Amino acid sequence: MNKAKVAHPLEARLRGLNIILGSQSPRRVELLKQLGLTFEVRPSHAPEDHIEVQDPLEVPQLLASRKAEFLLPQLKTSDLLITADTVVVLEEQILEKPHSLDEATTYLNRLSGRWHQVITGYCLTMLERQFKASVTSRILFEQLTEAEVDYYVSRYEVLDKAGAYGIQDWIGLIGVKEIQGSYHNVMGLPTAHLYQHLKEFLV
């Protein structure tokens, strides 16, 4: 077998399409690259606050939809837009991106030794149609010590991460005791779900 001549499984369906990732998240950029897709990054600057819903589990999909709506006027017929948003939920309360290192420390202390949910909502959008979905993963943290929390907060970028942590970081290596669901979903993009939905969306 000539490996260089083996086409990507979605090549025929993607032919003639321009994939746009409506996010500048380095985690999402890397995960989409690992899926073997060629795309351009076009960040959506849609507002992420004032989401008035009773169920916090609905928030990520609403935010992903809002990002898609922001970029929709820029789309051409051949464009396929992917937008996503991820939230961390502890006891029905969303832990957003912390505004300070002190707030990040507070978040991690609250998550310590407890289960929480990570939900990513995503949208596949073209001019004439759209698909929406959300994926939930459950995470159990070990009981974190003060020294472990201080070490992580002081050495890693925590202010750009929902819940103040990245599962791919040091804290994920030492602190995640159990995970139920998609690991990549916790990183910010449920790649297996997205890939399957791309196949269906592009039929």
Q: Active-site residue numbers?
A: 85
Q: Cα separation of 152 and 169, whole Å?
A: 9
CB 137 within 8 A of CB 57: no
126 CB-near residues (< 8 Å, 6+ apart): 75, 77, 79, 80, 81
Tokens of 146: 């003060």
CB 167 within 8 A of CB 176: yes
Rounded to a whole number of angstroms, the CA Rg of the chain reads 18
The DSSP H or E segment spanning 122 is strand 115-126
Tokens of 134: 């959300």
Residue with token string 């995970």: 179
Tokens of 48: 């992420």
In terms of phi and psi (left: phi > 0; alpha: psi -120 to 50; beta: otherwise), the region of 102 is: alpha
